[in-house]
Amino acid sequence: MRVHIEQRFVDLPAEIQQALSVPDQNPFFNAAFLRALEETACVSPSQGWQPTHLWIESADQAVFYLPLYKKSHSWGEFVFDQSWANAYHRHGLPYYPKWVSAIPFTPSLGPRWWVKPGTDAALAWQCAADYIKAALAGGMASSWHLLFAQGEDLPLQDDEALVRRDTQFHWLNQGYQGFDDFLGQMKSRKRKSMRRERAKVAEQGVSLVRKLGTELSESDWIEFYACYCNTYHERGMTPYLTLDFFLRIGRDLGRQIMMVQAIRDQRLIAAAICFYDRTTLYGRHWGALQDVDCLHFEACFYQGIEFCIEQGLQRFDPGTQGEHKLLRGFEPVATQSWHWIAHSAFRNAIADFLQAEVREIERYRQHAAEYLPFRCPD
């Protein structure tokens, strides 16, 4: 097996790009999504994301692919390691560049590598890991981080891999026949509270419309982007993604996009973007031009729940953070990432930190579950 590195997604072998273009699969580990990030300059060396895509060739065929980025910062990852970087710097050691295998700006569980059917996955993974660890030993990067990978285990045993756990809040479809059926599983007080929140939005003169990506016009995207940018600017932040990016994915991934639009006085005042595949809805981007009480809950949570029920989707992953999601029926679920640290002393220190952290994370997840608003089963 032979390892190759490409600095543009478009330069990967056609077989890999085709494998990541299967309709209705994960919308982020997807050729159109990854290509759009690069071709609209959302991901680029100047943005601190240098594509370093790794693929493996065997018998003149592409058999393995791993998205890989050389990073000069930790923004846009959502697995927070800035304290590790600060510790390196206090000891006069560089933490950046580091290597990251992730979907940029996307804290959603999903596939993070591709293996050609019939290929020995463990052997291919070992080949990739050996290449990366040799590069780390040679000083090309301080570390390698595999983020938000689906599943509990890597396809190979690796004692150097440090596992980090965290918690997100996902809504799970229990075969509900409608939103009222979902509310019927709630404790009475919470059921009334959620109904009041929904009614309050309507009482403020706001109506909600859901549109599929294939129904969205360029003006829909432009209006959404104004909302998106306004919300970032109100927080003193610069948006990660450009209008060109959204126009591109609207064109290339429209069949896997749903937009919630909030309308007041015949004008778009807020919007939320979701992606979906055969099983899961992913809430990703939100923005608003006006502050309307409870509108965020309606546009980002309740509309998504209704969509999942109507489409028969099993899960709604609304992204990071979340006690406010917990109280609206989103259940705590475990996430995991893997980290390879080249410096042995820091690797040991980080391993000790993660052992203590995981105990706190487990306690937090168990404690959070006690606050779910569902009725006790009869």
- Tens-digit pLDDT profile for residues 58-78: 999 999 999 999 999 999 999
**What would the mean pLDDT of 183-194 be, rounded to a whole number?**
94
**What would the mean pLDDT of 264-293 be, rounded to a whole number?**
97
pLDDT at 319: 86
**What would the mean pLDDT of 92-102 be, rounded to a whole number?**
97
If 0-12 CB within 10 Å is exposed, 13-18 middle and 19+ buried, where does residue 67 land? Answer: buried
pLDDT class for 372, splitting at 50, 70, 90? very high
Q: Residue 140: phi, psi to the nearest 5?
A: -70, -25
pLDDT at 306: 98
pLDDT class for 154, splitting at 50, 70, 90? confident
Residue 192 has pLDDT above 70, yes or no: yes
**What would the mean pLDDT of 301-319 be, rounded to a whole number?**
97
pLDDT at 188: 93
Residue 247 has pLDDT above 80, yes or no: yes
Q: How far apart are CA 315 and CA 281, in angstroms?
A: 6
10 Å Cβ neighbour count for 243?
A: 17
Q: How far apart are CA 158 and CA 360, in angstroms?
A: 24
Report how many helices (DSSP H) and strands (DSSP E) the chain contains, helices first. 12, 15
- Tens-digit pLDDT profile for residues 327-363: 999 999 999 999 999 999 999 999 999 999 999 999 9
Residue keyed to tokens 């590069």: 135
pLDDT class for 305, splitting at 50, 70, 90? very high
Buried-exposed string 6-26: b where 16+ CB fall within 10 A, e elsewhere: beebeebbeebbebbeeeebb
Model-wide pTM > 0.75: yes
How do strand 61-66 and strand 69-71 relate by DSSP bridges?
unpaired
Estimate the share of the chain in helix, then strand, then coil, as percent rounded to the nearest 5: 40, 25, 35
pLDDT at 44: 96
Q: How far apart are CA 272 and CA 270, in angstroms?
A: 7
If 0-12 CB within 10 Å is exposed, 13-18 middle and 19+ buried, where does residue 347 land? Answer: middle
- Tens-digit pLDDT profile for residues 14-69: 999 999 999 999 999 999 999 999 999 999 999 999 999 999 999 999 999 999 99
Contact 282, 276 (CB under 8 A): yes
pLDDT at 378: 58
pLDDT at 296: 96
Contact 322, 228 (CB under 8 A): no
pLDDT at 283: 97
Domains along the chain with CATH numbers: 2-167+333-369 (3.40.630.30), 174-313 (3.40.630.30)
How do strand 114-115 and strand 143-146 relate by DSSP bridges?
unpaired
Segment (H or E) for 361: helix 344-369
Nearest alpha-carbon partner for 19 in 60, 58, 54, 65? 65
pLDDT at 153: 76
* Residue 374, Ramachandran bin (φ over 0: left; ψ between -120 and 50: alpha; else beta): beta
pLDDT class for 155, splitting at 50, 70, 90? confident
